Chain A
């Protein structure tokens, strides 16, 4: 799996699977920047169903609120979320 260095621009994948995931829907499809690299951590999508998890890098990704919501009111306000590697794709 590709490793993203801090500062790299990444896009959250636009998947909407009917199972337990920890990627908020409101961020899917949006572009942010890796703030720091965490982990590896067990994949919650396996843990939730009692399976032995793969260990995945977890990224803190920072989004501009203006990019996520389309408002330009407070241009510098940000949203940070932790997103597992398999939900991120390079630009």
Chain B
């Protein structure tokens, strides 16, 4: 055994179990990755340190960042207005760089529910929420969400009343979308940190709602 299986029982920063990798047989695609990386470094396109820094940055991005933005919007009406007007600028205020794409925040209310999909590939606000979940990239989610959103949401455990309007956002180009879920009832006494803990990843994609306190 060349390495301990220390990773397998632990969760990554994004909360998912790690996949086996280093100890498995070398695949064709892994060989290609190693070769490309080395050639890119030797040709001066990137440095090994830049590659490592990107991987570290990816590991550091989790839905907690989006949750902090939502909690701020719940507690600070002026920030909420700025977030809805210019999502990228409002996130930058909090130190979150949403990258070259622009962020549009859409707010769930008593009569409107927003849900985000990318039918053409799997665009996702990764700088704010981390990498997308597997289902977000699936044929089922990509094809069905624009056609039968209420059925899809029901499969995620979210049954919407008929008098709530559903707005589906197909992330087709240069925008990325963050759903600001409705603030749960009975949370008046909670501070921003406690509120952020109620904001799930799924609620920020729009397939769920914030947890009750």
Contact = CB atoms under 8 A, between A and B. Distances in A.
A and B physically associate: yes
Interface residues of B, number: 20
Contacts of B162: 74
Given A74-B150, A74-B162, A79-B146, A24 B170 contact: yes
A69 interface: yes
A83 B162 CA distance: 29
Interface in B166-201: 166-175
Q: Provide the main secondary structure of the chain B interface.
A: mixed
Given A69-B147, A74-B162, A80 B170 contact: yes
Interface residues of A, number: 22
Contacts of B167: 77-80
A26 B119 contact: yes
A60 B167 CA distance: 13
Interface of A: 22-24, 26, 38-39, 41, 44, 58, 60, 65, 69, 74, 76-84
Contact of B173 (A65, A78, A84): A84
B174 A65 contact: no
Interface of B: 102, 104, 119-120, 146-147, 149-150, 162, 165-175
Contact of A38 (B168, B169, B175): B175
A76 B165 contact: yes
Closest 4 CB pairs of A and B: A82-B173, A81-B170, A77-B166, A76-B165
B170 A79 contact: yes
A77 B149 contact: yes
B102 A65 contact: no
Contact of B175 (A23, A74, A79, A82): A82
